[in-house]
Chains A and B, each alone.
Chain A
């Protein structure tokens, strides 16, 4: 055997090995693409979904694992199964399922969900009471601001809450001031953050606090939601800039929402505002002041406050587009399939 023969033999051997390797890759891909595997994985996803429904703590992995495996299964099928090359609509449908999956994943990584209460006539300044966010959330909530100009809510007999109309104002991206009425089905959307009115709303006694150094700040106590917590309209509060904790209670002396008639949410006119500092109890009227250790508290009057649900998810329009593509392509696929042959042929 000459040197050249030897080299050729080795070359041949290598090519053979490579093709075996390629074939094993393909057969692995074929196996991953199996439709029977799809069935197992759909069943696994159903089990994961039930787990997620049952336990709030089990909403990540029981969904992520079957969905991830389904994506692998589906992509392998798309790569190897000739059905998808012959039937474009079927291919588009399954691709839109992959797109949906990727979008939901992206949404979960970047979303934000929270709550904020804003007193009438004041600004939302980017601060949330409760927040939950994806690890990669990078929106600019701190630069989002709007004014709550007050709301109206009607009640039908039996305290059945009707429509909510909340007047809000803000500056848009170009700096122009905007005004709108939101509520029920209509959120306020600023920089991708969506603000939804909720049934959490109530009364907010508003104060002016003048510290010992002479600077004055306004602040309000958002008492528990009304009428849900009608009988516990009290809260512990520390005025902004002060160290002293005060206890504020609103004692309403009139029927605000009549259970028998149609009524509208409104501020009480007959009420007592009780403020307790340590063991001292004071009843305050609008304009009254109260001296504390480190400054003076002046009661400015009652206002309302609205609790907003805040939601950020940039994938929303894309999800909708992917859903539209999925339904249309599925419809086309079945249409073509069924039009080709009558059922009783």
Chain B
């Protein structure tokens, strides 16, 4: 347990260093991209080791408590953003926005209790990994879109026009954000399908209006709405960006709010 938490702390410090380096780079108009990327990969490796040790100790993956769910999602979101950062060099300056966003989740993770939870028998199925994995890809794709959207909105309101000027023009960022949302929609759809199959196997119903599945469906609708609004009104990049932020907030509340607010989360826990 000690070692797990030490590794996690080391990962958090590394992420924070990566974030600070990215912000300073943008503010000073420098490009410390290699350092940022190295720090990101190092943070991922440290956090993976921490999650791995805990997995080994408890005999199950990070799917049960708030601590575990936040922990594994910080990791998967960081994987998604690191891949985007690595593969699409033109958008690297967006790290100055995405990393501080991640700090909020890191702060939350640090104040949650790392105790263990009860692993229900209905989780003994590959569908657990498929369902959760697909959800993580969805959220990761939306996070990249959120980073680009924040850049579009900031520049629209005249913030950091020069500093964020090294990023491509807003119509291009808008197109890339849309593509991330398209990937997100595919994976969200797959997540809903996998969840329905699992629920049918485990509880004998593919849909039962439990708060988490219902909010996941509402999130899906917000993505469908955004895509059609962009087609119907040819909306401008800042408006599209605001809609993407709305989708992210809905998705975020669904992932991290509903299961812990509602009295009847996924009935898996019984």
Q: Are B221's CB and A45's CB within 8 A?
A: yes
| Cα separation A118 to B122 with both chains bound (whole Å) | 22
- Please state if B221 and A49 are interface contacts (CB–CB under 8 Å): yes
B204 x A185 contact (CB < 8 A): no
Q: Mark B192-207, 1 if CB is under 8 A from A, else 0.
A: 0100010011111110
| Mask of A304-317 contacts with B, CB within 8 angstroms, 1/0 | 00000111000010
**In whole angstroms, how far apart are the Cα atoms of A330 and B122 in the complex?**
31
Surface stretch bound by B, among A122-130, A143-151, A214-222, A318-326: A318-326
Interface residues of A in 152-198 (CB under 8 A from B): 158, 160-164, 184-187, 194, 196
Stretch at the interface among A33-41, A201-209, A254-262, A263-271: A33-41
Check A164 against B121 for contact (C-beta < 8 Å). Answer: yes
Distance between Cα atoms of A316 and B124 in the complex (Å):
22
Q: A39-B232, A53-B211, A199-B270 are in contact. Are A343 and B172 (CB under 8 A)?
A: yes
Taking a contact as CB atoms under 8 Å apart, the answer to whether A343 and B175 are in contact is yes
Q: List the A residue with the shortest CB-CB distance to B189.
A: A327
Given contact pairs A161-B121, A194-B204, A330 touches B186 in the complex (Cβ within 8 A): yes
With a CB–CB cut-off of 8 A, which chain B residues contact A162?
A: 121
Contacts of B189 in A (CB 8 A): 323, 326-327, 330
- Which B residues, 229 to 258, have Cβ-Cβ distances below 8 Å to chain A? 229, 231-233
CA distance in complex: A187, B201 (Å): 7
Closest residue of chain B to A43, judged by CB? Answer: B225
Q: Of A34, A49, A311, A343, which one neighbours B218 at CB under 8 angstroms?
A: A49
A50 touches B (CB below 8 Å): yes
Chain B residue numbers with a CB within 8 Å of A287 are none
Bound Cα distance from A164 to B176, whole angstroms: 48
Which of B121, B176, B215, B221 lies in contact with A344, CB distance below 8 A? B176
B122 lies within 8 A of A343 (CB): no
Q: List which B100-136 residues lie within 8 A (CB) of chain A.
A: 118-122, 124-125, 127
Say yes or no: B206 contacts A319, CB within 8 Å: yes
Inter-chain contact B232/A36, CB cutoff 8 Å: yes
Does A276 belong to the interface (CB within 8 Å)?
no
A307 to chain B, nearest CB (A): 12
Partner of A327, one of B186, B197, B221: B186
CB-contact partner of A334 in B90, B182, B197, B214, under 8 A: B182
> Chain B residues with Cβ under 8 A from A199's Cβ?
270
Tell me, in angstroms, the Cα distance from A100 to B220 when the chains sit together: 15
Are A59 and B221 closer than 8 Å at their CB atoms? no
Q: Which residue of B lies closest to A38 (CB)?
A: B228
- Asked if B221 and A42 make an inter-chain contact with CB atoms under 8 angstroms apart, the answer reads yes
A299 to B83, CA, bound (A): 69
Picked from A49, A113, A161, the residue with its CB within 8 Å of the CB of B217 is: A49
Q: How far is the CB of B113 from chain A (nearest CB, A)?
A: 17
Residues of A within 8 Å of B209, CB to CB, are 52-53, 56, 59
Please name the 5 residue pairs, one residue from A and one from B, whose CB atoms are nearest each other, closest first. Answer: A35-B232, A196-B204, A309-B204, A53-B214, A185-B201
Residues of B participating in the A interface, judged by any CB pair closer than 8 Å: 90, 118-122, 124-125, 127, 168, 172, 175-176, 179, 182-183, 185-186, 189-190, 193, 197, 200-206, 209, 211, 214-215, 217-218, 221-222, 224-225, 228-229, 231-233, 270
Question: Can you pick out 5 interface pairs between chain A and chain B where the beta carbons lie within 8 Å of each other?
Answer: A39-B225, A184-B122, A184-B125, A320-B193, A344-B90
